[in-house]
Every structure is written in structure tokens, then in C-alpha cells.
Amino acid sequence: MKRKIAGIALIISIIVFQLACGSLIRREGETTTAPHFKPGFNLFSPEQDVEIGKDSAQKISRQAPLLRDEATVAYVRQLGARLAAKAPGYKFPYKFEVLAVKEINAFALPGGFIYINAGVIAAAKNEGELAGVIAHEISHVALRHGTNQASKAYIAKVGLDVLSSIGGGDSTDLGQIIESIGGAGANIVFLKMSRTAETESDLEGARIMAEAGYDPRDMANFFKTLEAGEGKKTPEFLSDHPDPGNRIEAIKRVMPALPVIAKPTRETEEFNRTKSRLVGLGSSKAVARLAPAGDHTSSRPDLPSKTFTEYEARDRSFSITRPDNWDALEADSSNVIMAPRGAYGRMNDSVVVTHGIFIGAIGVNADTLEEANRMFVEQQLKANPDFRVTSLSQPVMFGNREGFATIVSGPSTVTGATEIDVIYTSVTDDGRLFYLITIAPEDEFSAYKPIFERIIAAIRL
């Protein structure tokens, strides 16, 4: 039987609390307004980004062949400076180098160190397309994606307990973190970007281009050229910069909101001279491979206790049982996180969770449970563009109460490891939407599944 959901406005404070947990941290996604993003969670300071970048750049200079053509390097640095002047956030000391490599690729290290393969210049049809590649890499630096990835890798290694000491005001031990995530091989961590990071860099890069006097559609055209010519082998640029999904369409959608001038820079004589000179050089050297970061075993919280204890929401909207070694972190009288010690911590004034559940009751504007469930699941996916539904909503029962279960999965915003979240919904006696979301890493899901099932079986609404 369908149950009516009371038409109560969504409780914003509860949703903020809810989305700050585990992989449900709200992040800005595709938009029809001018894109502007802020750096995500980071254990490092911007000054440490620069320190890390300098050290990594020294390693790159020993591993990769720098182009010695002064005119080409000067041109790229001038173009890069024009674009970097429009970068948001911390004013990093941006530095641009060209690698004598035919493969089409580019990458950015933390702190503003950006490398463009000569192959990119040869493949670009005009200066606008080259500007698009550089603006994309500048955005990775400005949004601090490299050290964001490193921060996730470090937490995956040592566990969330480290957040307590960092949050208490202790300085981040830079050497300890770098050594923990791979030491000399940590560069590979800085360069591995998620689909979310790629989306942000595409759209922030489009804004940088427009403000610097370029047409962001040239960035989209460069991507289109690579996709059309990939043939049997995917170009390195697309391999290292994974398509977040319809990236060309996403850039086109934000165009109306960008300050594109009437006659943007596209064709320039300096670009044409530079490209002709590079095509003549025809370097065939391949960039040296960075050492792998190594295989690290993530820190794991203690397994759930076999002894369970009762918990009842303060507003008595529900009661459940939980392992007695799990803590209950209450947001208010009807919304709570439950997780084992070592699986949660405070980050940027929010609580993050890698293993556990969050549970509660909220008001939504919906007429049926089916509609409320759909809205709730869509909201989670919108907040987490890297996540996908892996099992569509299926009917379930909470005792004698109808409900739905939907499985989603994606990379944890805390550790970067793939996790599986199951979203359960039903209706409370007063007509609010009851939700319960289980969170566990994919490689531990089978161990936590019986615990989650026992919790769900004991729910009383």
C-alpha cells in the first residue's frame, strides 16, 4: 500500500549534516551559472603545496626531457601567465615547462608547476585550443586537486584518527605524509584525478579562458579532436584526464554564463610559428614513467562487535540496535551517525565516515513514498557526481512497514577507495521520510553486510 509523505519543507540543517558524512559530501557540479569551485578537503597548507611541487618538479627534471627551444618555452610561459592571472584562490607561483615529447599530454603538480608536452602544441589547431589545455591544468593547481588526492591516500593509509590531532591545531607533518603515501613515488598520487576533479577543471578552466579573452569552445574542440582521432589507442591526455561524462556538452552548457568577448583570441602568428618549429623538431623521446606509489594496506577500524545495544531517537521516531563498539553522533533529536571508532573524524567542521550508517527522519515535499525515495536518491547522486546506481530501487520491508533499497557505489571522498552505499527509505508514523544509509568499502562490504542486515531487521518505526 502506498503511504502518504507529509508535505513538509526539507530540513536544510539536517541535509547539510547528512551530506557531510562519508561519500555524501555535497560538491558543486555541473551548472548553468558561471562555474566557480572551491578546493576540497586537504591536510596540506597552500604553502606546503608549493614545497611539494618544488620537490616533485626536481624529480621530473631528472626523469623527463625538457624542451630546450627557448622561443617555444618563452611563448608557453607567456600564454600560461596570461591565463594564470585569472586563476581563483591562493596565488600560487605558476611555472610552465615544455617536455620534448610527441605524445599528447599535460599535467600539473601541486603549487603551480605545469608541464605541457610538445605533442599538445603540435596537435592543437590554434592558440585557443592550447589555452584550453593550459587553463585545465591551472585549474587542477588552483583547486588543489593533487594534494586533495594525497590527503585521501594518507587517510586511507593511517585511518581517520589522524584528523583529531590535525583538527586540534597540530601542524601537518609533510615528510611523514609523503613517505606514507609512497615517498619518492608519491607523484603518481598527485597526478591521479577523479571524474569530479576533471569536471571542476573543465568548467573552472572554461571560466579562466573566457576571462583571459579566449573562447572556451576551443577547449571542447580540442577534446573533440582527441576523441575523433583516438582509433585503437586512447591518447595519453584522455587516459590521464578521464572523461567525467559528456564533458564537451558540459562546457557548452555553461557558455551563456561566461564573459566571452566578441572577438576572442584564437589564431595568432606566434602560435603558428611555434607549432611549425616544433613539427620540424619531431622529437621521438618518451617521457620517463614515474615510479608507482606502491601497494599500501588501508587502516581499518575494529570489526563490529557481536554484542549489540539499543538506541532510540530522542524524538522516538525510530529505534534500532547497533554494535556496542559503535559510537552514536547525534545531529538533533531524529538524525544520527553510527560508526566504529577509527571510521569517523572531523574534517572542515563536518563529520566524515568511511564505515557505518547514518539514519534519521526528515520532511520532504512528496505525495508518495515512491516519489520521496526517488527524490532522495537523486539528491545523493547530484551531490556525488562520481557515484552511480548499481542496483535500482527495490521494495523491502521494515517489520510490517513498506520501504525501498537502492545500491550506489563510487570513490570515497575521504579515502578515494571504492565504497558501496545502500540507501533505505520508508515512512515514519508522522509522515516523514525515514532514511538509513549504510557505508562500507567495497573490499569489506561482505564483512559488514550481515551487521547492516541485523540492524535493519531490528528497526522499529
Does residue 134 sit in the same domain as residue 221?
yes
For residue 104, tell me if it sits in a domain: yes
Q: Quick one: CA dihedral 325, 330, 334, 338, positive or negative? A: negative
Q: Which domain holds residue 161?
A: 46-281
pLDDT at 234: 60
Does residue 215 sit in the same domain as residue 358?
no
How many domains does one find in the chain? Answer: 2
pLDDT at 233: 58
Residue 367's domain is classified under what CATH number?
3.40.1000.10
Residues of the chain with pLDDT under 50: 1-31, 165-171, 181-187, 232, 281-298
Does residue 156 sit in the same domain as residue 252?
yes
pLDDT at 376: 92
For residue 27, tell me if it sits in a domain: no
For residue 387, tell me if it sits in a domain: yes
Does residue 135 sit in the same domain as residue 167?
yes
Does residue 145 sit in the same domain as residue 211?
yes
Does residue 87 sit in the same domain as residue 212?
yes
Does residue 358 sit in the same domain as residue 442?
yes
pLDDT at 424: 94
For residue 7, tell me if it sits in a domain: no
187 φ/ψ angles, rounded to the nearest 5 degrees: -55, -35
CB 427 within 8 A of CB 370: no
Does residue 267 sit in the same domain as residue 408?
no
For residue 291, tell me if it sits in a domain: no
pLDDT at 319: 87
For residue 349, tell me if it sits in a domain: no
For residue 113, tell me if it sits in a domain: yes
pLDDT at 259: 93
pLDDT at 181: 45
Does residue 230 sit in the same domain as residue 361?
no
Whole-number Cα distances in Å, 205 to 88, 147, 250: 10, 19, 12
Does residue 86 sit in the same domain as residue 169?
yes
Cell of 232: 585503437
**Ramachandran assignment for 102, one of left (phi > 0), alpha (psi -120 to 50 degrees), beta (any other):** alpha
Does residue 258 sit in the same domain as residue 312?
no
For residue 38, tell me if it sits in a domain: no
> pLDDT tens across 420-437, in order?
999 999 998 888 999 999
Does residue 128 sit in the same domain as residue 275?
yes
16 φ/ψ angles, rounded to the nearest 5 degrees: -60, -45
